[in-house]
Amino acid sequence: MWRLLQQIKKVGLVSEPKPAPDATMLQRQLQEQVRRVFGRALAIRQVDAGSCNGCELEIHALHNPYYNLEGAGIHFVASPRHADALLVTGPVSRHMAEALRRTYDATPEPKLVIAAGDCAACGGVFGENTCATIGAVANVVPVDVVVRGCPPTPTALLQGILAAISKRASA
Ligand code: SF4
């Protein structure tokens, strides 16, 4: 026990600080926009098209109490048939390209596609048109919003989702 306490004292606080107030404001804006544009919850289907899973860790963080995505009326669904938007990560591996196309086709119109992370934007560290990857999500399906970052922060992801909803509102 004593050694554990000494270790805690030595290491200190290692968790990330609370999000800046702009994250809380973003969350409120999202909540208002979802209610205004959809009049119900916004359903997102996440597609890992070859990610290293770094992006997924940040997406996962959106569900913690700080970012509180569900509190904004946004939830993830298991089937593209129930989704309003696709959130796609990764440099689209050749093995996942057809699955991504089919997922896109299975999502009802009008649909939104958010390419999340540098890999989804341009192939990132994996590059484009290699033996294993096609690269940008836009090379496979139409993309509405791109969120840069490797990985993108939860705040950047919230901004990307908000941008996609605003695009739908102005369509
Ligand atoms: S953008 Fe970075 S974190 Fe996301 S899949 Fe690519 S390498 Fe991984």
- Determine the average pLDDT of the residues in 88-95: 97
User: What secondary structure letter does DSSP report for 85?
Assistant: E
The tokens of 159 are what? 């901004």
- The residue written with tokens 């009326």 in the block is 73
CA 170–ligand 1 middle distance (angstroms) = 30
Q: How confident is the model at residue 20 (pLDDT cuts 50, 70, 90)?
A: low
Question: Of 92, 118, 134, which is best to mutate to test ligand 1, by the most ligand atoms within 8 angstroms of its C-beta?
Answer: 118
CA 38–ligand 1 middle distance (angstroms) = 30
CA 126–ligand 1 middle distance (angstroms) = 9
CB 141 within 8 A of CB 105: no
Question: Over 80: is that where the pLDDT of 157 sits?
Answer: yes
pLDDT in tens, 112-135: 999 999 999 999 999 999 999 999
Longest dimension (CA), the chain: 62
- The residue written with tokens 């890992």 in the block is 48
